[in-house]
């Protein structure tokens, strides 16, 4: 079948494409490469007017005339390639803002997609109205809105989250749900808010192409190496401030036993290369399940501090601290977990092997592709 995947979030769509292609389908991924991460896509749209003088001009024009230059640029790129958005057997949107435009332009582009394709699906991946509303209502014990509610950072740093609760984005959400055949979730953080929704088709665990990630057996010689990758745009949302506080505690106690590698906003390929040396990777705090960075690190055999909540343990029938370490929003508790690993390095080797096995059994991209296709076909 001819399948179009619109948008990219880490490598969720491109990895799904690799699985679907192996099953004999003709698949195209269109997107922006997920910003500075420069993830691979087939047709790369560019997000213009986002830095420097261009950003200043855009903000000025928007303030004066409510005209968004970035959205107009994306609109122009869309219609220059409009043939790609026609006559596909299946189309999937990465989330409710796949083109990254203002709601009025997003609705215009989606109208074209719905008009020219019969089977359009939505993936709940990244922030969207459903998950943000669920979090704001306090239905998670903690979530990506926790630092916002604690007034960390400024309003602008959380706009990409809170915008989904504004009227234009709620209307966009409603418009999308009126026209899609179904919605799927990529992990438990999106699965739980969608439970019992009439168009929910279920969760498909994020796909990982294991051929791309060679397992590295942990070799602990002089020091235990801890890797902390910071995304400045999502500093508080990812809990990087809490990781830094935990590292401060553990460094004061075990300075001679550890090496800490900290990087900020680097392209994906460099990120992967730099964490190869590490035994432990600090991923994110405010999550119940793992995103792509965590899964790919686990595939390589790293011990990852990430979302690994009780709901995740129950869903996959796992024991605590056997596959990944649940990164709770408490620097002292995270420092205690780090200390446990430093004092018991054999646990690093054990968790490393379990992590790789878990990815092989639950996140293989071929199994995920089959699952996606079966769910799509169930309502076609």
Q: Could you report the per-residue pLDDT of 209-224, keeping only the tens digit for each?
A: 999 999 999 999 889 9
Q: What is the pTM of this model?
A: 0.91
Strand ranges across the sheet with 258-264:
258-264, 224-230, 280-282, 303-306, 325-326
Say if residue 39's pLDDT is above 70: no
- Nearest Cα neighbor of 100 from 167, 30, 148, 32 is 32
Mean pLDDT taken over the chain? 92
H or E element at residue 373? helix 365-377
Average pLDDT for 304-322 = 97
Q: Among 42-46, 62-66, 185-189, 298-302, which stretch is predicted with the lowest mean pLDDT?
A: 62-66
The beta strand positions in the chain, using DSSP E, are 2-6, 26-31, 43-44, 90-93, 120-124, 182-185, 200-203, 224-230, 258-264, 280-282, 303-306, 325-326
pLDDT confidence tier of residue 154, bands split at 50, 70 and 90: confident
Average pLDDT for 329-335 = 97
Give the position of tokens 């990781």: 243
Say if residue 205's pLDDT is above 60: yes
Say if residue 308's pLDDT is above 80: yes
At 64 the pLDDT is 56
User: Coil, strand, or helix at residue 81?
Assistant: coil
pLDDT above 90 as % of the chain: 77
At 34 the pLDDT is 47
Of 47-56, 216-225, 229-238, give the range with the top mean pLDDT.
216-225
35 vs 332 pLDDT, higher one: 332
pLDDT in tens, 261-294: 999 877 777 887 788 989 999 999 999 999 988 9
Say if residue 56's pLDDT is above 60: no
Q: Rounded CA gap, 352 and 301, in Å?
A: 4
366 vs 33 pLDDT, higher one: 366
Say if residue 348's pLDDT is above 80: yes
Average pLDDT for 325-350 = 97
Average pLDDT for 74-91 = 96
Average pLDDT for 126-139 = 95
pLDDT confidence tier of residue 46, bands split at 50, 70 and 90: confident
At 272 the pLDDT is 76
pLDDT confidence tier of residue 153, bands split at 50, 70 and 90: confident
∠ CA 63-67-70 to the nearest 5 degrees?
110
Q: Rounded CA gap, 146 and 356, in Å?
A: 31
Q: Among 111-115, 147-151, 240-244, which stretch is predicted with the lowest mean pLDDT?
A: 147-151
Give the other-Cβ count within 10 Å of 109's Cβ: 20
CB 241 within 8 A of CB 273: no
**Three-class HEC string of 265-308:** CCCHHHHHHHHCCCCEEECCCCCCCCCHHHHHHHHCCCEEEECC
At 315 the pLDDT is 97
At 53 the pLDDT is 65
Domains of the chain from N-terminus onward: 2-207+364-377 (3.40.50), 211-362 (3.40.50.2000)
39 vs 332 pLDDT, higher one: 332
- Phi, psi dihedral angles at 225 (to 5 degrees): -100, 125
């Amino acid at each position: 079948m001819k399948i179009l995947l619109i948008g990219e979030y880490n490598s969720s769509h491109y990895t799904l494409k690799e699985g679907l292609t192996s099953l004999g389908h003709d698949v195209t991924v269109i997107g922006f490469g997920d910003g500075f991460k420069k993830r691979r896509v087939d047709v790369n749209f560019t997000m213009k007017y986002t830095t420097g003088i261009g950003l200043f001009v855009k903000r000025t024009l928007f303030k004066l005339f409510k005209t968004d230059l970035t959205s107009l640029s994306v609109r122009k790129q869309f219609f220059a390639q409009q043939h790609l958005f026609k006559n596909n057997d299946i189309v999937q949107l990465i989330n409710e803002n796949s083109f990254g435009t203002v709601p009025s332009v997003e609705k215009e582009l989606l109208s074209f997609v719905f008009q020219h394709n019969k089977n359009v699906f939505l993936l709940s991946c990244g922030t969207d109205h459903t998950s943000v509303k669920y979090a704001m209502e306090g239905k998670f014990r903690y979530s990506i809105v926790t630092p916002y509610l604690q007034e960390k950072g400024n309003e602008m740093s959380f706009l990409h989250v809170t915008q989904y609760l504004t009227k234009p984005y709620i209307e966009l959400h409603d418009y999308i749900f009126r026209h899609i055949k179904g919605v799927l979730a990529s992990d438990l953080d999106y699965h739980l808010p969608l439970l019992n929704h009439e168009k929910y088709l279920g969760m498909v665990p994020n796909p990982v192409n294991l051929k791309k990630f060679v397992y590295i057996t942990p070799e602990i010689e002089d020091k235990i190496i801890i890797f902390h990758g910071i995304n400045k745009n999502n500093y508080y949302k990812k809990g990087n401030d809490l990781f830094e506080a935990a590292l401060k505690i553990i460094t004061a106690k075990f300075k001679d036993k550890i090496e800490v590698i900290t990087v900020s906003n680097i392209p994906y390929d460099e990120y992967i290369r730099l964490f190869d040396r590490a035994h432990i990777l600090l991923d994110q705090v405010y999550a119940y399940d793992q995103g792509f960075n965590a899964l790919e690190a686990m595939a390589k055999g790293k011990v990852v501090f990430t979302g690994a909540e009780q709901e995740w343990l129950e869903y996959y029938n796992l024991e605590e601290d056997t596959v990944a370490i649940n990164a709770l929003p408490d620097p002292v508790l995270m420092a205690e977990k780090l200390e446990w690993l430093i004092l018991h390095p054999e646990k690093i080797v054990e968790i490393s092997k379990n992590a790789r096995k878990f990815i092989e059994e639950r996140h293989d991209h071929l199994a995920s592709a089959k699952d996606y296709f079966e769910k799509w076909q169930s309502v076609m």
